[in-house]
Structure 1
Amino acid sequence: MIAGGKPDRRALTAVAVVHVTAAALTWRDLRCRTAGQVRGDKGVWRMASVLNTLGSATYWLFGRRQDAGPLTHTQKRAIGPQ
């Protein structure tokens, strides 16, 4: 915040960019995973990622099943070249 009590636009822009990027990456990962590779409902994770950045962070930390195995060829193709 600056002295006048208004938030700094650059800081708000940076936070917005981080939030949109995190949500987009979360949605892309959810699109490529089967329901068995995700803990909980995919729709709930999508909603959580849109509502706040912590929703995306929570998905990446706890929502993905690590024991689900590697992505299939079709799933890798859906992600695109890396």
Structure 2
Amino acid sequence: MSKSKKSWKELSPTTKVAIVAVAAIDAGTRVWALRDLAGRRPEEINGPKRAWMIGLSFGSTAGIAPAIYLLWGRKRRG
């Protein structure tokens, strides 16, 4: 059985809303994580700062990559 991809027009309104919501959450958390990363010194980051920058800059991850950075990628200030 072959499943063909549906076009945007063929998706239900609920599916369209879900896709837009996930994209908005991903974009918002990505901007938050990248701004936080830019404001930290390398010693305040768990792992290479450049690797985090690359990982956060490319691809859609439904908010997963930014969440990983915000939870575990940065060292606590204090």
What is the CA–CA distance in structure 1 between the aligned matches of 2:11 and 2:69, rounded to whole Å?
32
1:6-25 → structure 2 map (5 Å cutoff) = 6=11, 8-25=15-32
Report % sequence identity: 27
Structure with more contact order per residue of length (Cα contacts < 8 Å, sep ≥ 6): 2
Q: Extract unaligned runs of 5+ from structure 2.
A: 1-9
Aligned twin of 2:46: 39
Report the AA paired with residue 61 of structure 1: L
Shift of 1:48: 2.7
- Kindly tell me the number of residue pairs found equivalent between the two proteins: 64
Structure holding more helix per residue? 1
Shift of 1:41: 1.4
User: Match of 2:35, SS?
Assistant: helix
- Superposed CA deviations along residues 9-61 of structure 1, whole A, max 9, x for unmatched, are 11111000000000000000001000010011122222333431211111111
Q: Extract unaligned runs of 5+ from structure 1.
A: 70-82
Runs of 4+ more than 3 Å apart: none
